[in-house]
A and B are shown apart, each in its own frame.
Chain A
């Protein structure tokens, strides 16, 4: 399998612009997770889906963030409007089973908001 695919790998945008990050999970995996990694806060879970349904979005920082999973092979994380403090590496991960199963991470999207 190709592994978890994320695009773009790097994104530089200006404050106020809309940003869309994309993720293709591993085929057959029922769980999809979005994380944000910064030096200050480490690795934070933003939201996760089970069978395309959002289960827990308590980690989403504010209403500017939204995530969707229209089908089993695609998910998006959108930030609108973006702010400089959103600069981070955003990871998507998928898992074949519940919490006891290992998660497979994508390469991440490095977002810079100027």
Chain B
């Protein structure tokens, strides 16, 4: 069965610090997709990134970067030089090939303190 674990329930860091959000997943499929979503205080979930299981290259987008490691079944998300606007709940999610559904982790609430 597929499962996504975000062990960090809540994190607080001071603005400009780097922070990494952990995500560990479980799946029996060799083909699958991993996602990160952001839920700001306004409430709407916003898609950030999708990776497929065959592409282990790290991704960087501005201050955001993602580290995908199949050997440890992890897909971690790092925010560099954090800003107050990064405060949100971040969800990691998994979808197996052939499945229409996305399974979400419980989320990590990130507080960026000014």
Contacts and interface: CB of A to CB of B under 8 A. Distances in A.
A77 B95 CA distance: 24
* Interface range on chain A (Cβ under 8 Å from partner): 20 to 34
* Interface range on chain B (Cβ under 8 Å from partner): 20 to 34
Interface in A33-75: 33, 42-43, 45, 48, 50, 55-56
Contacts of B47: 102-104
A45 B46 CA distance: 17
B55 to A, nearest CB: 12
Given A104-B47, A106-B44, A55 B106 contact: no
Contact of A99 (B46, B96, B106, B107): B96
Given A43-B104, A55-B100, A100 B43 contact: no
Contacts of B104: 42-43
Nearest to A91: B45
B44 A107 contact: yes
A89 B43 CA distance: 9
Interface string B85-99: 000000100011111
A98 B45 contact: no
B35 interface: yes
A50 B99 CA distance: 12
Interface string A76-108: 000000000000010101000011111111111
Contacts of A89: 43
Interface in B36-53: 37, 42-47, 50, 52
Contacts of B37: 105
Contact of A102 (B35, B42, B100, B101): B35
A100 B50 contact: yes
B91 A43 contact: yes
A99 B44 contact: no
Given A42-B104, A89-B43, A100 B97 contact: yes
Interface of A: 31, 33, 42-43, 45, 48, 50, 55-56, 89, 91, 93, 98-108, 110
